[in-house]
Amino acid sequence: MTVIDANRMHEIETRYPEYFHRSFRQRFGGLMILIATLLYSLYAVWFFDLPKLFTEAHWERVGIYLSQWVSYDVQPEFRIEGDGSIDIRYPRFSPLGDNPHPDWLVNNPDGSITVSISGTSRNVTVSKSETIVTAHGISVPVDVSSGAPKVVGPVPGWMTVYDDNVLADLGFVGNVSISVDRVKIRKRFIGWANFIFDTQSSFFDKPVGEVVSLIVSGPRIKPDQSNLSLAFDDIWNNSEWQHGDVWTKLFQTIVMAFLGTLLGSLTAFPLAFLAARNITPNRLLNQILKRFFDFLRSVDMLIWALFLTRAFGPGPLAGSGAIFLTETGTLGKLYSEGLENIDNKPREGIKSTGAQTVLVHRYGIMPQIVPIFVSQTLYQWESNVRGATIIGAVGAGGIGLKLWEAMRTNANWENVAYMVILILIVVFIFDTASNALRHRLMGTKAH
């Protein structure tokens, strides 16, 4: 065991004062940051009134919207006529087509109709005098023979009685609304209805094998068009899913992002040389261009899109212009800062040979900055694919506008899911390609 005397201790303290005489910030800096973070969190909770926000939020809508992303419903309506007969009606543009005969709807010998909501455990039997709802292991009759529907017996918790109707909530699989003269049923199915062929298609409701057989070797459905061409037209012009319009708008979004980023980089590149202090020794010009870059990028892309849609009208031109203005500012700043951080030795060496300014830039600067510039531009392009979707919602064209239209109806959430998945796939592809190109240019290995 080594014993350190007072003189040795004093010598160590003198040599390493930062360990023995730490400042107040060094001793309590971490604790102060922790306390400041805690105080700010409490302030944020008070400022945004988070307890009230969480208690009053409609959390049940999350489940409803998510379920509508992956399912669809059919809504038959049973009208009880004066002679006791039951007339079945479906909404216009029903997923089942114009003349549906679903196997989950059975006409009974006594004139009643039984609708299977979920197998045999949840079903509804409609007759002229009563409607019987079976769910959760019990059957609840609702008398509809008098002036208002009346539940016979105790009312279960999943059934709500109003003045003129009774609502039975059967969970995800659907619900039943019962009034005196009609019964409305909402039956939910997993999947996307008519995603390939809509109800107006000649191939609608045909088995897969029959469709393939018709396309490959079957007789022509339309004499002037092959079945393969007809099938493609029916898919591309699907009236419910609008594949052709969605894919066209998606391509517009990609083109908007590419064109805006390309024009922004081409404009920012020469301006960055004028804004860099070590390249252009003109302080006034440097400051003017840097403030110009700050102005362009401080105005959000969404705001530029709003301005340009006023000027040029809705469409991809406004979207491309918004990306162009934003990217000129962003890339101009990145490029100029990259130029200011280059190694001046190669540049000075080439300049000492008496080479012209263009050659000095070409051989003394470009080899240092091209990989960095291309990497930054690719990253911005990848980011702008996502940004182009957002600005499309304000009228700048592309799939963003299509997505906003589907969300605004509050009824086409399966179409929203379809477009969101397409956007995710495109972003993933561009992210992967951009990362691979950046790593290749920088000479690093992608992970």
* Whether residue 98 sits in one domain with residue 23: no
pLDDT number for residue 434: 80
> Where do the H-state alpha helices sit in 70-224?
208-217
pLDDT band at 142 (very low <50, low <70, confident <90, very high): very high
Phi and psi angles of residue 81, each rounded to the nearest 5 degrees, phi first: -80, 170
- The C-alpha atoms of residue 90 and residue 76 are separated, in whole angstroms, by 5
- The C-alpha atoms of residue 335 and residue 42 are separated, in whole angstroms, by 40
Domain assignment present for residue 316? The answer is: yes
Residue-number span of the structural domain to which 293 is assigned: 243-442
Say yes or no to pLDDT of 165 above 60: yes
* Whether residue 160 sits in one domain with residue 108: yes
Convert the pLDDT of each residue in 16-69 to its tens digit: 666 666 667 777 778 889 999 999 999 999 988 888 888 888 887 777 788 888
pLDDT number for residue 406: 85
Say yes or no to pLDDT of 1 above 60: no
* Whether residue 76 sits in one domain with residue 28: no
Say yes or no to pLDDT of 314 above 90: no
> Where do the H-state alpha helices sit in 193-279?
208-217, 227-236, 243-275
pLDDT band at 340 (very low <50, low <70, confident <90, very high): confident
Domain assignment present for residue 238? The answer is: no
* Whether residue 81 sits in one domain with residue 138: yes
| 3-state secondary structure at position 174 | strand
User: Domain tally for the chain?
Assistant: 3
* Whether residue 150 sits in one domain with residue 29: no
* Whether residue 36 sits in one domain with residue 83: no
Domain assignment present for residue 205? The answer is: no
pLDDT number for residue 18: 62
* Whether residue 388 sits in one domain with residue 302: yes
Convert the pLDDT of each residue in 90-138 to its tens digit: 988 888 888 788 889 999 998 899 999 987 789 999 998 899 999 988 9
Token pair recorded at residue 111: 């004139």
Identify the DSSP state of 181: S
Cβ contact 203:235 at 8 Å = no
CATH of the domain at 276: 1.10.3720.10
Domain assignment present for residue 56? The answer is: no
Cβ contact 380:260 at 8 Å = no
Cβ contact 93:106 at 8 Å = no
* Whether residue 265 sits in one domain with residue 136: no
Q: What number of other Cβ atoms are within 10 A of residue 163's Cβ?
A: 6
Q: What number of other Cβ atoms are within 10 A of residue 304's Cβ?
A: 22
The answer to which of 126-135, 281-290, 341-350, 427-436 has the lowest mean pLDDT is: 341-350
pLDDT number for residue 22: 66
Hey, which residues does 80 pair with through a beta bridge? Answer: 86
* Whether residue 259 sits in one domain with residue 389: yes
Q: What is the greatest pairwise CA distance in the chain?
A: 115
* Whether residue 32 sits in one domain with residue 87: no
Phi and psi angles of residue 273, each rounded to the nearest 5 degrees, phi first: -65, -35
Identify the DSSP state of 222: B
Q: What's the Rg (C-alpha) of the chain?
A: 34
* Pairing, β 71-74 against β 159-161: unpaired
CA angle 257, 258, 263 (to 5 degrees): 105
pLDDT number for residue 290: 92
From the centroid of its chain, how far is CA 347?
A: 47
Domain assignment present for residue 219? The answer is: no
Percent of the chain with pLDDT over 70: 93
The identity of residue 412, as a single letter, is N
Domain assignment present for residue 220? The answer is: no
- The C-alpha atoms of residue 237 and residue 255 are separated, in whole angstroms, by 22
Domain assignment present for residue 291? The answer is: yes
The answer to which of 18-22, 59-63, 280-284, 344-348 has the lowest mean pLDDT is: 18-22
Domain assignment present for residue 354? The answer is: yes
| 3-state secondary structure at position 190 | strand
pLDDT band at 12 (very low <50, low <70, confident <90, very high): low
pLDDT number for residue 442: 66
> Sheet holding 130-135: strands in order across?
105-107, 113-118, 122-126, 130-135, 138-143, 150-151
- The C-alpha atoms of residue 28 and residue 34 are separated, in whole angstroms, by 10
Closest-CA residue to 396 (of 409, 387, 406, 383): 387
Percent of the chain with pLDDT over 90: 32
Cβ contact 319:398 at 8 Å = yes
* Whether residue 291 sits in one domain with residue 247: yes
pLDDT band at 443 (very low <50, low <70, confident <90, very high): low
* Whether residue 33 sits in one domain with residue 79: no
pTM as predicted:
0.78
